[in-house]
Structure 1
């Protein structure tokens, strides 16, 4: 583990940019950026276009380490290059931004009100690849849609089981049990999530470091005390379908919670914008998210 990166993620001010749209979510991300499906004919062309988009974001003068602590990448992005360097190395060497990698292989079908992660059949190979690319941490996402205690328990248990494997391999895993913002019993669901997370943390070895990525909770400061656990490096929030303004408004109310926004970060960016327009839009987006992340 890179101790300088660890200290930065744990203690510095800022937020984590999520640039990790994968195969299923890439077409929508490109369309929001102004790139229609007719612009590509296969996955290789699609991933080339999304890498161009991410490269434009990362190389922007607005994308700097004084406001951005880390960036979450998708496997294809990690293994692609920016100015002759692998993206993860470019982020750290040129920008001072810590690289993370999305590692889950997507979601299983809805069962017991939740979507577990599909079994990670290629995890060992992917972690070896991540080690070669100097990745600091990982991120894995599952989703809770309904109030079903059995399903929620299974979600948290699965996340921690993988987290222990990932930590043992030398990475800091981000555990992401997303709660659907439209869930009927969102606040009650989040109380059960918190309870199960605490139970798992109480049994977690002291040298197993983890991070969390939560939906912004309905109860303000629900997760603020998790940082009292020595194993918890940082707690971040996803935007979850809220607009950027709404995400920032809700985030700013919560102590010890910083952003890790994806769609909300890139909201308003367009492939046809001039560099001046693009950089101004991105700068405004980053500044708003940064201020919400430090507003405690």
Structure 2
């Protein structure tokens, strides 16, 4: 058992505390710059820093957000006043987390499939991040549905990497967020998505077991079982909730503290609605907390309001807080569509 076992168990439970979710703000500089460019925001380190300050200093955010996943650049940055972002989070009662993978790369011999890299040197990076104040980490695997894919090789390669990452995290004191994302891109049906998600989760938990990962000191961050974006038949929200929970109950070990979904290209209202139905209808059947770890589904309205202009910070923060509040309600089964109209004017 890791020396950090007690601390990690407490951290994992705090990450999925009732009514709270995890904010994913760990997009790479390249991804962040692309989003900025679309809105005419200068793609500079200073504007990225200013945007992350806007997010982390949002008043009242910690009421709905337990922690945030940072990128390597962000965890080293500070507010304009010189306070490190780690300290800002700790003072607000939010847990700092860090993305540790180095991205999904082409899987040799398997066209159109990816494997996530970043295991080389990971033990040392974990030690550094722990010393800086991070208490959890994230690693994302990407599974694509298409003609004759995913292959068994792709699923197994990603499951193995996720498990080795998780074991290294627990050795070094960081709670691993295990994120196997079955992409929403494609014209596949919800039934096909279920099959692939089922196979993926089965493989991931088999590898976690083999690598000796403690289930009660990790968080699962899966995608929902949902129709592909280009599928002519889009499954209704009730079916998404039912099939997702069914798939999780079949595969996720009972002592995992929480399941924190990624939004994965859903609209922000869809992401809230699906999470809400899962909690309203199926919470009593589930041994783990069911919550969110969203990125765009929380941040996008704030980014569009801010547009790189410091005069818009307060209004953008209000948008961010509103989305966090809606998803907090969804994690309790208390979200209603009318809440979307309740954003008070600035």
C-alpha displacement at 1:203, in angstroms? 4.1
Task: Give the Cα separation in 2 of the matches to 1:214 and 1:250.
Answer: 14
d(CA) in 1 for partners of 2:271, 2:244: 13
Count of matched residue pairs: 285
Paired residue for 1:118? 117
Given that 1:201 and 1:229 are in contact with CA atoms closer than 8 Å, whether structure 2 keeps it comes out as no
Q: Unpaired runs of 5+ in structure 1?
A: 41-45
Secondary structure of the residue that 2:220 maps to in structure 1? strand
Deviation of 1:52 (Å): 0.8
Q: 1:108 aligned to 2:105?
A: yes
Moved more, 270-279 or 179-188: 270-279
Residue 239 of structure 1 pairs with residue 263 of structure 2: yes
2:199 is equivalent to residue 192 of structure 1: yes
2:25 is aligned with 1:19: yes
3-state SS of the aligned residue for 2:222? Answer: strand
TM-score (norm 2): 0.75
CA contact 1:21–1:74 (8 Å) conserved in 2: yes
Whether contact under 8 Å (2:162, 2:204) holds in the other structure is: no
Structure 1 pair 89–288 and aligned structure 2 pair: CA distance change class (3 A):
same
Q: Aligned in 2, Cα 1:216/1:129: closer, same or farther, shift over 3 Å?
A: same
Q: State how far apart, in whole Å, the 2-side matches of 1:295 and 1:187 are.
A: 23
Match of 1:178 among 174, 177, 181: 181
Give the C-alpha shift of residue 112 in structure 1.
6.0
- The answer as to whether partners of 2:136 and 2:175 remain within 8 angstroms in 1 is yes
The answer to whether the Cα contact below 8 Å between 1:10 and 1:233 also exists between their aligned partners in 2 is yes
Aligned 8 A contact 2:218 2:257 in 1: yes
Corresponding residue number in structure 2 for 1:29: 35
Render the CA deviation track for 1:51-86: whole Å, top value 9, x for unaligned.
2101011111142x2211110000111011134332
More helix by share: 2
Q: Which of the pair has more CA radius of gyration?
A: 2
* 2:70–2:97 CA contact under 8 A, matched in 1: yes
In 1, Cα distance between the equivalents of 2:201 and 2:12?
24
Describe the shift of the 1:151–1:5 C-alpha distance in structure 2 as closer, same or farther (beyond 3 A). closer
Report the counterpart of residue 268 of structure 1 in structure 2.
301
